[in-house]
Amino acid sequence: MAEDHKTQPVPRVYPFSRETVFLIVGDPEVAISRTTLSICEVCNAIPDAVNLTAEPGGQRDGVLDSAARLKDHAEIKGSLKLLRCPVCGCLYKLERKTEFLLGAGEKEWALTRLQRGDAFELLLGQQAKAVLKRDDKWVFEW
């Protein structure tokens, strides 16, 4: 009996450009309103900026339950990701900050809500070689 192998879909490669960043973020001129955030079951519990002791979706120690529901949207660098709310589409920057205390590193994550225009500028400033699209996730290539 032949084994049933699932093949991974081939990622689509995009050049790093304003047009690609537009595909990732959406229209930078369209802002997410406070009303949208207040009625979103995920975003209404997340402050505009918060420090977390673990990456959302990882260990739950100290992580806001709502932040853990955000989905990876773009892997920019190992210490920088763009997350998207699965309900309203709001974007968040997740940045790893490591402090070295007495020879041990302590990881802390800074989660910041971004308007599309801010996310657009953040991504445009990265100057990657290319951007891959794998399923629902974008991956920046250096």
3-state secondary structure of 74: strand
Domain boundary assignment for the chain: 12-46+63-94+113-141
Q: pLDDT per residue over 89-119, tens digit each?
A: 999 999 988 665 555 556 788 999 999 999 9
Q: Strands 80-84, 137-141: parallel, antiparallel or unpaired by DSSP?
A: unpaired
The predicted pLDDT at position 57 comes to 57
Whole-structure pTM value: 0.82
CA angle 55, 111, 76 (to 5 degrees): 75
Q: pLDDT per residue over 42-55, tens digit each?
A: 898 888 998 877 55
Query: Is residue 130 predicted with pLDDT exceeding 70?
Result: yes
- What rounded mean pLDDT belongs to the chain? 84
